[in-house]
């Protein structure tokens, strides 16, 4: 059985189970007996998935955003992000009037028993998290506090933000009305967010009162009934769990990427090394996939924010700093591979880039390794033709000067080298005869180790991957 066949079979089985669970989801009904009026502030990845999931649990959910265009689109059934399964549940819950979208923040706040804050926390120039959206949400909540409410942070926020939110609300609110602030970090992954929301590995709740904790348990009753573990703790501990989790995963990726570099010098095979260490349950086999460097809206931003937080309290997170540095070097390492494959002559060389999203199953290009690698190649005067199944439009906004193709083969036409940067399933099943016909040079750099090295070389391609896989 060759590796391709094995990969395909696994992939189709995974797809089948995902489609099957989504099917079950769409035709099932919520199980919560504790219906609440919930307002979610912010309709980004986290807010939209959260609001939809809470509506699915049977709550009355209002999602608020300041972006009128986005709200109009959502009310018209148009989902602004690509997230498998989300659109169908949104349609179902809006039809049952469990889920609605508005820009009217005042009424949405006043009618809520529970308010989730899921607004963005973009990165400041110095790497710290920008809390201006959080602060204005807290101010609005304070100004509209008409009865006891629980305010929950879902956005990834620096440690200590729960306390900050509490102080802001208190400074604007009627002092006779009580409220509680809770930290309830989200661990969902883009591309698998619906499944992650409905089947999380754990629920973390940082609460200061018994009352708030009990309400949170009611909200998550459908998940607690499935025996999903609950970590009940205080605000700073919950906030730290989120950053420590993302940082640990990022460290794991940087570690395997460096070991892959070592494998190239020692003639070891990184995929076997990863499998060999991953089978030790103390290490675990996930997040040991070498690649062009981690990206996305979370890891790069969150680990920098955590290292800044530590710096401010005079704690040195040296392992984290090394992981950040290693991630920069990994992108340079991939560029170096491309230069080398082209004998260090990039001027006017045509490079076909396959994959722009920061990982497969998303159209998100934020902090994507592809962005930095393409920029490095452009600086060396290479000509880039790129193709991504769904992220072309988003990358166009960041890198308007390169050419975007409608297919792999259009991008490959006339190319001196073909570079795979995102592990999209369609790149695992390329038609190599067509590629041979279309490409100028039959060179492939596979920065995700998705092709079978032996097969590709036998087909007459010059092939480079990561860590002799
Ligand atoms: C990440 C976390 O996995 C989620 O648990 C968390 O909730 C989320 O951040 C967040 O804080 O909101 P996400 O950014 O969607 O989720 O993406 P991941 O699947 O974690 O991938 C991040 C990056 O690491 C991608 O560029 C991916 O290609 C890379 N990666 C991942 C590797 O290079 N190797 C691996 O083995 C795994």
**Does the C-beta of 61 come closer than 6 Å to ligand 1?**
no
Least confident of 119-128, 351-360, 396-405, 424-433: 119-128
Among protein residues, the one whose CA lies closest to atom 19 of ligand 1: 189
Atom of ligand 1 nearest to the CA of 192: 15
Residue 223: DSSP 8-state:
H
**Does the C-beta of 189 come closer than 6 Å to ligand 1?**
yes
Please tell me the predicted confidence (pLDDT) of residue 82: 87
Q: How far is the CA of 148 from the centre of ligand 1 (A)?
A: 37
Among protein residues, the one whose CA lies closest to atom 17 of ligand 1: 189
**Does the C-beta of 361 come closer than 6 Å to ligand 1?**
no
- Reply yes or no on whether the pLDDT at 18 is more than 90: no
Q: How far is the CA of 189 from the centre of ligand 1 (A)?
A: 6
Please tell me the predicted confidence (pLDDT) of residue 127: 82
Mean pLDDT of 386-395: 97
- Reply yes or no on whether the pLDDT at 204 is more than 60: yes
Among protein residues, the one whose CA lies closest to atom 31 of ligand 1: 287
Bridge partners of 91, per DSSP, are none
User: Percentage of residues in the chain with pLDDT exceeding 70?
Assistant: 93
Please, which residues have CB within 8 angstroms of residue 208's CB and are 6 or more apart in sequence?
Answer: 180, 181, 182, 234, 235
pLDDT digits (tens, 9 = 90+) for 48-99: 999 999 999 999 999 999 999 999 999 998 999 889 899 999 999 999 999 9
Q: How far is the CA of 462 from the centre of ligand 1 (A)?
A: 30
Contact (CB, 8 A) for 395 and 388: yes
pLDDT digits (tens, 9 = 90+) for 257-276: 999 999 999 999 999 999 99
Strand order of the sheet with strand 417-420?
A: 403-404, 383-387, 350-354, 417-420, 443-446, 462-464
**Does the C-beta of 255 come closer than 6 Å to ligand 1?**
no
Measured in degrees and rounded to the nearest 5, phi and psi for residue 150 equal -110, 130
pTM to 2 decimals? 0.91
Q: How far is the CA of 416 from the centre of ligand 1 (A)?
A: 31
Q: Find the catalytic residue in 15, 63, 263, 298.
A: 298
- 3 state SS for 86-139: HHHHHHHHHHCCCEEEECCHHHHHHCCCEEEECCCCCECCCCCECCHHHHHHHH
**Does the C-beta of 298 come closer than 6 Å to ligand 1?**
yes
Contact (CB, 8 A) for 43 and 101: yes
User: Percentage of residues in the chain with pLDDT exceeding 90?
Assistant: 88
Mean pLDDT of 293-306: 94
| Integer Cα distance of 60 and 58 in angstroms | 7
Average pLDDT, the chain: 93
Candidate of 251, 299, 330, 371 to mutate for ligand 1, largest count of ligand atoms within 8 Å of Cβ: 299
**Does the C-beta of 299 come closer than 6 Å to ligand 1?**
yes
Helices 161-172/235-266 angle, 10° precision: 150
Q: How far is the CA of 95 from the centre of ligand 1 (A)?
A: 33
| Integer Cα distance of 36 and 212 in angstroms | 13
pLDDT digits (tens, 9 = 90+) for 92-102: 999 999 999 99
Q: How far is the CA of 170 from the centre of ligand 1 (A)?
A: 36
Annotation marks residue 298 as catalytic: yes
Mean pLDDT of 183-198: 94
Atom of ligand 1 nearest to the CA of 368: 26
Helices 132-143/161-172 angle, 10° precision: 40
| Integer Cα distance of 450 and 429 in angstroms | 10
Residue 314: DSSP 8-state:
T
Candidate of 49, 129, 189 to mutate for ligand 1, largest count of ligand atoms within 8 Å of Cβ: 189
Coil, strand or helix at 224 = helix
Q: How far is the CA of 299 from the centre of ligand 1 (A)?
A: 7
């Amino acid at each position: 059985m060759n590796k391709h066949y094995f990969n395909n079979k696994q992939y189709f089985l995974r797809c089948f189970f995902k489609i099957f669970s989504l099917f079950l989801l769409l035709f099932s009904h919520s199980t919560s007996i504790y219906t609440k009026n919930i307002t979610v502030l912010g309709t980004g990845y986290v807010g939209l998935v959260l609001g939809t999931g809470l509506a699915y649990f049977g709550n009355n959910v209002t999602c608020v955003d300041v972006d009128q265009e986005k709200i109009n689109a959502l009310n018209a059934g148009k989902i602004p992000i690509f997230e498998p399964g989300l659109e169908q549940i949104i349609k179902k819950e809006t039809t049952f009037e469990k889920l609605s979208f508005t820009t009217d923040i005042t009424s949405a706040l006043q009618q809520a028993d529970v308010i989730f804050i899921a607004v963005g926390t973009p990165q400041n120039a110095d790497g710290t998290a920008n809390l201006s959206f959080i602060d204005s949400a807290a101010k609005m909540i304070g100004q509209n506090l008409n009865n006891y409410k629980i305010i929950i942070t879902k956005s990834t926020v620096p440690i200590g933000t729960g306390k900050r939110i509490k102080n802001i609300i208190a400074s604007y609110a009627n002092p006779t009305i009580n409220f509680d602030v809770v930290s309830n970090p989200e661990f969902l992954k883009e591309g698998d967010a619906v499944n992650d929301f409905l089947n999380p590995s754990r629920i973390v709740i940082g609460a200061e009162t018994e009352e708030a904790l009990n309400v949170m348990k009611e909200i998550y009753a459908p998940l607690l009934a499935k025996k999903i573990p609950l970590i009940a703790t205080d605000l700073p501990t919950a906030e730290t769990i989120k950053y420590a989790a993302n940082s640990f995963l990022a460290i794991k990726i940087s570690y395997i990427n460096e070991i892959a570099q070592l494998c190239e010098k020692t003639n070891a095979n990184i995929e076997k090394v990863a499998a060999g260490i991953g089978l030790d349950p103390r290490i675990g086999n996930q997040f040991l996939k070498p690649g062009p460097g981690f990206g996305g809206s979370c890891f790069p931003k969150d680990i920098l924010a955590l290292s800044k937080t530590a710096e401010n309290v005079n704690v040195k997170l040296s392992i984290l700093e090394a992981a950040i540095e290693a991630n920069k070097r990994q992108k340079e390492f991939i560029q170096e591979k491309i230069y080398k494959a082209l004998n260090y002559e990039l001027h006017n060389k045509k490079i076909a880039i396959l994959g722009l999203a920061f990982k497969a199953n998303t159209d998100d290009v934020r902090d994507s390794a592809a962005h930095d690698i393409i920029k490095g190649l452009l600086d060396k005067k290479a000509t880039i033709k790129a193709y991504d199944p769904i992220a072309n439009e988003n990358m166009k906004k960041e890198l308007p000067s390169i050419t975007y193709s409608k297919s792999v083969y259009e991008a490959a036409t006339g190319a001196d080298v073909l570079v795979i940067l995102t592990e999209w399933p369609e790149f695992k099943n390329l038609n190599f005869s067509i590629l041979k016909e279309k490409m100028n040079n039959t060179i492939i750099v596979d920065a995700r180790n998705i092709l079978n090295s032996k097969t590709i070389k036998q087909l007459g391609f010059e092939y480079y991957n990561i860590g002799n896989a």
